Structure formats: structure tokens, C-alpha cells
Amino acid sequence: MGRYLLRRLLQLVPVFIGTTFLIYWLVWSVPGDPFAGKCGDRGCPPNYRAMMTEKYNLDESIWVQYASYMKNLLQGDFGITFGGREISDIIATSYPNTLKLAVVALAIEAVIGLGAGILTGLRRNGFLDNLVLVSTLFLIALPVFVIGFVLQWLLGVKWGIINPTVSNEMRFSELIVPGFVLGSASMAYIARVARTSIAENRRADYVRTAIAKGLPMRRVVGVHLLRNSLIPVVTLLGTDLGALMGGAIVTEGIFGINGIGRQVLRSIVTKESATVVGIVVVLVVVYLVMNLVVDLLYAALDPRIRYE
Amino acid sequence: MRVSKRASGALAVGAAFALVASGCSSGNNDGGDAGASKDGAIVIDGTQPENPLVPANTTETGGGAIIDWLWSGLVEYPNNGGAPQNLLAESIETSDSKVFKIKIKQNTKFHDGTTVKAESFVKAWNWAAYGPNGAQNASFFADIQGFDEVYTEDPDGPDGPQKAPEPKAKEMSGLKVVDDWNFEVTLTAPTAVFPTKLGYSAFVPLPDAFFSSTPADFGKKPIGNGPVSLVSWQDDVEIKLTRFDDYSLRDKMKVKDVTVKIYQDDTAAYNDLLAGNLDFQQQVPVSALAGDKWKTDLTDRAMASTTPSTGIIAFPIYDKRFQNPKLRKAISLSIDRQSITDKIFFGTRKPADSWANPLTPGAEPGNCTACKFDVAQAKQLLQEAGGFQGKLTLSYNADASHKEWMEAVAQQIKTNLNIDAVAVGVPTFAVFRANINAYKMTGAYRAGWQQDYPDVENWINPLYVTGGSSNDGKYSNPQVDALAKEATAAPSIEEAHKKFAEAVKLIDQDVPSMPIYFGGQQSGHSEKIKKLELTNVGELDITSVEL
């Protein structure tokens, strides 16, 4: 187990270097002079462009730029934006907001999705099953921004139940609706995966044995059935945290949340490689760590899986 | 000019011109309740300033609006678009439009309690003009004697290996402090419009604190001399402003606190406005304009105004194919501007019919004969010009809403002149602008102009004079240059306007670009605000707000 963990952690290093370089290179390849569009239709004075180009090393080759960026990064220096803000400050303020939103979304999709999945998996073809089937299809079919705008308008403007946008304090109660919007599609998938998995295992030999042994139903479902059926669901949920954080850009925009989405979008448009890479680096780490946690959870859920 | 950085807000589809000219006011005439206003607070929408708030280094609307509130300049532009009036200046005197004696009002204060002196201006201007400081607004100081000694150009452009030589001087020789309240400005050549320019935010004074700090640090906690001071700035969240109680010039604030809430999405801001969480939105989202939804939503709190900006399509005259003025005029005459403003902009922007925006002092409505829609004449001119070979591209930046109207223009040229015209979207404004800067355009392209200061000069010199700061198509007509020079050097503004009118007649024959529409703005405010006015460029005049 310890060796497995170590090996997995070591694997993170090349993945980390590879992803950061790819992202740096991609943003660098976006055509255009980042300072040409700064002053509107008037155009910027040449001196301004010359000063900024030199200040941000943009006249160097991509290799030199990337190497100096990585050198600073390893010393904990994320660099500064073209507007002169510390990128580490941007990360420190925007990440917790996105993380909060993603965790709320994850909690909502886990509770509702799993609940619906278990209920329908145990009682297939009933009224509830069909209802969940139709409503999940509906959620999957609708793009996030449609759900977002409709809920914001109905609950926020028409009925006045919530504030249309989230305040700076990011209170939990304010995040329920944005979290639901963000997690809606995944919630539908989780409900469906859980339902299938439970329905399948319901007919498995070990479940029949457990019932035949005379175990109470609660124990059969709660311990034997659920534990085995959860493996695909855990995979989904684990990798979803990263996907939710990266995919929160639309939801953040609709509800005015100061998260990483707007920062990434802004810096891609303005060709600020350092900001994009800085934010994505942290996201990459989240993905990698979540994957590792999911793999370790398998062993806890399924005794047949052992890591050496 | 300032450019809007909010992509979705870039399509400022105009609404009915119910209230003529900017500076319209809204609300009942007896104003607000003085008691409610006194300690009142409002929340208005904004965008994150791109750079630290240094006046000479801000060219975008997000930071520009806040700078306009934090600082007061020598002169101010009245909300109704009229001639500038002295604000911080006691008097600006000149006998030859070359040497200006400026006297400032005594004992006005910066927000940190220090006094605004003549030196505060001179040092600020010298800093902005000094080349190595790389200020975005440096070119505004080019009129002043000695500018070329402090601002040196890179001989082979920013992309070349050489660097700009170190300037010979650090200060412009044309600026002289006489005493605490008087200073003298000598220009390279007589410029009648110079006092008008002084109202632009690049010309505001800076406190000593600026020079003992770095621009980046100062810009995070700027110290101005305007009716409000900055309390705090939380990046991407909000900027808090409060009334500056020692403000002694005209127009003190009636409300106390102003919070500029930073939105990334104008629809989110609009929903907050409808829900009563936001008190003012300068431009409602495009989605609210369709079917006049915003008017139904906001009823008497909807405000339509015009802004002194014009949508233009420019020609790259450095390209051989566009050097015949007859061809350029033929293309311009084949565009039905009325149908574009009616159908694409829901009848809310106005078809352009003059070279300078009609809201600008000195502009003459209807002086663009090339802006008419006359297919017969267009066809004849095209024939005289020998037709047009190949494809005519009309490029625009696709990261803002320009696609629809540019395509409509292309379609009209195609239908009316049988030229193979196509609208081509360039992915981002940065790429688009880089191509324009490098004179690499191979067809006509979208341009736009919003006045920096209210005078027709601002619509001629930068755009149509040889070597003008935004003459991107390299249009050059020696007669226009001579007339514009005479106009600029005229002893009075009235005579300057007359000469500029003559220059415009020549420009109208040459058609270096095609004005297409005049801009408009649709704003909304909350029920809480009983009275407010917009400035000459459509920003909120925060001193006018009453609750």
C-alpha cells in the first residue's frame, strides 16, 4: 500500500510537467499581440507595447519563457498579471469560491442522485422509476446555462425567493441554487448509474444468498448491495469534483461568483499564459489527487482489490 | 477613446432616441428627498479595472469611469454636451493659442489632505509623457513643447530588436511652474482646442504620494481630488467609494456611499437591477433589448440616451486597390444605413450622416454626402473607377457583437454593386488590432470612434490627418493636412470649427472611411434613485444622484 502510494505520487511529477508545458504552449500559440488590443480602436502607443513586452519576457522564445516561469513557480512565485496583480492572490481568492461551489454541487448530486438511484434501482418500473427516468433525461438534455438562467429568473427576479446573484460572503444558503445548477447534469448521470448498478447487483448470487440466510432487508441493501454498487458511483463522483471546478465557468458567470472560471476566461482572451497556467496547475493537482483518492477508495469498498 | 472590455456589452444596441443627447436626466423634477440622500448609499455596476488606477494609464471603460469620479480636472464637460467650463481652473488665458497661462483655484485638496498646486499638474504630465514610463495616454501630451525630447520612438517598432533610445530630457520644456497656483504651458504649435482637451482624464493632477510610490501601488489605493474618495478595492468583487467632505468645487455629492459592484456578466447585473439589489446599470444586456423588454421591465426607470460615438468601416489606403476615391465613394453610397439601423439595431441606433458625431461641438449634421444611399450614383462611380477586381473583405473582431451588421453591409455592397463582398470575422480584438497596427489589412475593416473630448478636432486630427495617432489606413491629403493645421492653430474655437468644416468637405470627397451608425445607450436605475444625470459620454454623473 505504501509503495503503491509512493509510485502514484512519483507519477504525478511527469504528468505535472507535461500538462503545464502543454497549457503554456497553447496559450502562447494564441495569435495576436496581447498589448495591441489594450487601448481600444485608438491603438496603444509603441512605447507602452515595448515596455510591456520587455517586462513580461514576451520577446524571448517559448522555451526561455517556460523555463523562467517554471523556475519561479517552483520557488512559489506564480508571477503577476498584465494588470500588475499577483497571480497567487487571484488563486487564493478565487479558488476557495469555486471549491465551495463545487463541493455544494457535489453534495447535492450525491444526496439527490444517489437517493433517486437507490430508490429506483430497488423498485424498478414503478411510477417513481419512470418519473426519475424522465426528469433525469430532461436535466441531461438541457444545457447548464438554460437551467441557470431559468432558475435565476424564476426564483430571483419573478418570485424573489433568492438573490439573483451570490454575495461576496458566499453563504451556504446562497450556494444551493447555483450548486444545483452546476451539479444538475452529473446528478442525473449518478442517478442512472446508481440505478443500473443496484438493479444488476440485486440479482447477484451474493445478494440472493444474503436474503436466503434470513438477513434483514436493511442489512442486505445497506451493507452488501450498496457497498458493491457504489464503485462506479464513487468513480463518477471523485472525478467529478475536478470537472465541476473546471466547468463552473458558466454557472459562475450567471450567478456572479468570483471564481476561477472568469479568471481563466479573461486570461485566455488577454493571452496571459502565466495566469492560465497558474490556475490550471492547481486544477491539475486537484484532478490527480482526486483520482488517487478514488483508486484508494476502491480498495476500501471492494475487498477483492488490493494494492501492492 | 476608451474601449468596453465586457464582451457581451460591446453591442450597445440603441433604444429609441426619446431623450435627445447624453446628459438626459430621469425621475421627477422636484428631485429627491435631501434627508434620504444625505447618508444614502447606492450600488452601481462596473467591471474590474484592467490596470491599477493611474489616470494617464487607463484607456478602458471599467477603470475610466472610476477615475472620472475620483478626480476633477482643470475643466469639465457639461452633461448636455456643450462647451467645456472651468472646474479646477480659475482661468486659462492665452493670446496666441500657443502659450497658456493657467491659474488654478486655491486651497483645493487631494483626498490625503495635501493641497492641489500647480506643481501637481506639471509633475503628473511630465510623468505621463516620459517615454520609458510607457503610459497608454502619452500621446495626449504631444502638443506640448519638448514632448519629443521626453518621448522617443523605437526606431524599428516594438517587434524589432532595437530599443527606443533613452530620452534626452525628463521634463517637457513647455511646462513651467510660476508659483503655487499658476503655471504656464507652451505648445509646439498654436492649438485652439488645447483648453478643451484639459478635461480629459489624462490631464488630472497627481498628489506627491504618487511620486513617492510606484504606479502599481498607488493605483491600488488611488488618491484623487474629486467628489468621492476610494475606500477599498476588492479585486473582481467591488470598489467602495465615499463622499469626500473637503471637496470645495462645484457639484458636491448628495449621497454618501457608492459601491461599484463588479460583474462579469451583464445579465447577472440586470437581474440584480430588477430584483432591487442594484441601483444603476449603464448598459442593459442585449437580451433585454429584444422586443423592448427592458422598457417593459423598467418602465419609467429605463433611460435611452445617445453617446458621442460612431461605428465606422475604414479603408486600408496603403493597399493599391483602395486608392481610388471614386471606388471608395461608390462602396459607401451603396450602403443603406437606415435599413441597417432599423433591422439590425431594432431602429435604435441612428444612421450616420456626418463625419463627426453630431453630439460634438463643431460637428455639422448631414455633412457626409458619401453617407447617402444612392445606388445609381454608386454604380456610375464604380464604372468610372474601373470596377473592383476580386474579393472585397470586410473584417471585424468576432469577440464582440459585430457579425450581424458587418454581414448586412457586405450583403448590400454585393447586391447593389455586384462586388464579391464578404464579412470576415477575426477571432479576437488583440489579433485584429495587431493586424491594423502592422498595416496588414487587405480589405475594409470595422473601426469605431468615441470622442475623448468634445470638439470636432478630436474627430479629424487623429483620424484623417497624415500621421494622426489613429489614422490606421494611412489616408493622406496635403490639402486636408494644411486646412486641419490652420484650423488647429486658429485663434479661436469658432474659427477653428469653420476651418475644420472646410477640411471635412475635402474628406467627404475622398471618403477615407465610411461612417455607418451613431451610438446609443440604454441604462436603467432602481426605484430608490429619484434623480440622476448621465455625463456627456453616458457615464453616471454620481454627483447628480438623489434618493
pLDDT single digits (tens) B329-372: 999 999 999 999 988 888 778 999 999 999 999 999 999 999 99
What pLDDT is attached to residue B501? 95
What pLDDT is attached to residue B433? 86
Query: Given B268, B277, B437, which is nearest A43 (Cβ)?
Result: B437
Query: Given A51, A153, A258, which is nearest B237 (Cβ)?
Result: A258
Query: Given A40, A42, A51, which is nearest B134 (Cβ)?
Result: A51
B272/A43 CB distance under 8 A? no
B399/A269 CB distance under 8 A? yes
pLDDT higher than threshold 90 for residue B174: yes
Give contacts of B434 with chain A, Cβ < 8 Å: 32-33, 36-37
**How many Å lie between the alpha carbon of A266 and the closest alpha carbon of chain B?**
10
User: Among A63-77, A221-235, B26-40, B368-382, which range has the highest average pLDDT?
Assistant: B368-382
The per-residue b/e assignment along B103-112, b for 16 or more CB within 10 angstroms, e otherwise, is bbbeebbbbe
pLDDT band of B19, cuts 50, 70, 90: very low
B448/A84 CB distance under 8 A? no
Q: What mean pLDDT is predicted for residues B60-89?
A: 91
Best to test chain B binding among A27, A35, A41, A90 (most B CBs inside 10 Å):
A41
What pLDDT is attached to residue B337? 95
What pLDDT is attached to residue A68? 87
A256/B272 CB distance under 8 A? yes
CB B63 within 8 A of CB B80: no
Percent of chain A predicted with pLDDT > 90: 23
* Mean pLDDT value across chain A: 86
Strand partners of residue B312: B447, B515
Q: What mean pLDDT is predicted for residues A61-67?
A: 87
Q: What is the pLDDT of residues B487-534, one digit of tens each?
A: 998 888 899 999 999 999 999 999 999 999 999 999 999 999 999 999
Q: How many CB atoms lie within 10 A of CB A35?
A: 26
B52/A contact by beta carbon, under 8 A: yes
Closest alpha carbon within chain A to B137: A45
Give contacts of B7 with chain A, Cβ < 8 Å: 269
Give contacts of A260 with chain B, Cβ < 8 Å: none
Query: Given B52, B164, B428, which is nearest A47 (Cβ)?
Result: B164
Q: What is the Cα–Cα distance from B337 to B352, expressed in whole angstroms? A: 7
A165/B60 CB distance under 8 A? no
A36/B430 CB distance under 8 A? yes
Q: What is the pLDDT of residues B436-492, one digit of tens each?
A: 888 999 999 999 898 889 999 999 999 999 988 889 999 999 999 999 999 998 888
CB B280 within 8 A of CB B250: no
Query: Taking a contact as any Cβ pair under 8 Å apart, which residues of chain B between 493 and 522 contact chain A?
Result: none
The per-residue b/e assignment along B204-235, b for 16 or more CB within 10 angstroms, e otherwise, is bbbbebbeeeebeebbbbbbbbbbbbbeebeb
B90/A contact by beta carbon, under 8 A: no
pLDDT higher than threshold 90 for residue A31: no
- Closest listed residue to residue B57, CA positions, set A52, A295, A120: A52
A48/B151 CB distance under 8 A? no
B271/A84 CB distance under 8 A? no
Give contacts of A50 with chain B, Cβ < 8 Å: 134, 154, 158, 163-164
What pLDDT is attached to residue A50? 80
**How many Å lie between the alpha carbon of B217 and the closest alpha carbon of chain A?**
9
B236/A262 CB distance under 8 A? yes
Which of A8-22, A103-117, A184-198, B479-493 is least confident? A8-22
Q: What is the Cα–Cα distance from B534 to A163, expressed in whole angstroms? A: 28
Q: Spell out the CATH class of A98-306.
A: mainly alpha
What pLDDT is attached to residue B21? 39
Query: Given A39, A253, A256, which is nearest B136 (Cβ)?
Result: A39
Closest alpha carbon within chain B to A250: B265
Give contacts of B269 with chain A, Cβ < 8 Å: 256
pLDDT higher than threshold 90 for residue A24: no
Q: What is the Cα–Cα distance from B294 to B298, expressed in whole angstroms? A: 6
pLDDT band of B36, cuts 50, 70, 90: confident
Query: Given A30, A164, A263, which is nearest B275 (Cβ)?
Result: A164
Percent of chain B predicted with pLDDT > 70: 92
pLDDT higher than threshold 70 for residue B4: no
DSSP assignment letter at B8 = G
Q: What mean pLDDT is predicted for residues B160-171?
A: 79
Instruction: Map residue B249 onto helix, strand or coil.
Output: coil
Closest alpha carbon within chain A to B151: A47
Query: Given B136, B236, B263, which is nearest A48 (Cβ)?
Result: B136
Give contacts of B267 with chain A, Cβ < 8 Å: 149, 254
Q: What mean pLDDT is predicted for residues A121-130?
A: 87
User: Among B47-61, B130-144, B207-221, which range has the highest average pLDDT?
Assistant: B207-221
**How many Å lie between the alpha carbon of B249 and the closest alpha carbon of chain A?**
31
**How many Å lie between the alpha carbon of A185 and the closest alpha carbon of chain B?**
22
pLDDT band of B80, cuts 50, 70, 90: confident
B470/A47 CB distance under 8 A? no
Q: What is the pLDDT of residues A232-261, one digit of tens each?
A: 888 888 888 888 888 888 898 889 888 888
Give contacts of A36 with chain B, Cβ < 8 Å: 430, 433-434, 437
Which of A29-43, A134-148, B223-237, B387-401 is least confident? A29-43
pLDDT higher than threshold 50 for residue B16: no
Query: Given A42, A54, A165, which is nearest B1 (Cβ)?
Result: A42
B263/A contact by beta carbon, under 8 A: yes
Q: What is the pTM of this model?
A: 0.84
A50/B399 CB distance under 8 A? no
B275/A163 CB distance under 8 A? yes
Count of all residues that appear for chain A in the document = 308
* Mean pLDDT value across chain B: 88
Sketch the domain layout of chain A as residue ranges: 2-87, 98-306
Give contacts of B151 with chain A, Cβ < 8 Å: 47
B235/A85 CB distance under 8 A? yes
**Which one-letter amino acid corresponds to residue A164?**
P
A33/B236 CB distance under 8 A? no
Closest alpha carbon within chain B to A45: B136
Q: What mean pLDDT is predicted for residues B181-188?
A: 95
User: Among B38-47, B117-126, B399-408, B537-546, which range has the highest average pLDDT?
Assistant: B117-126
Q: What mean pLDDT is predicted for residues B132-150?
A: 90
B59/A40 CB distance under 8 A? yes
pLDDT band of B29, cuts 50, 70, 90: very low
Q: Which ipTM score applies to this complex?
A: 0.80
Q: How many CB pairs under 8 A join A and B?
A: 160
Which of B236-240, B279-283, B346-350 is least confident? B346-350
Give contacts of A83 with chain B, Cβ < 8 Å: 49-52
What pLDDT is attached to residue B157? 61
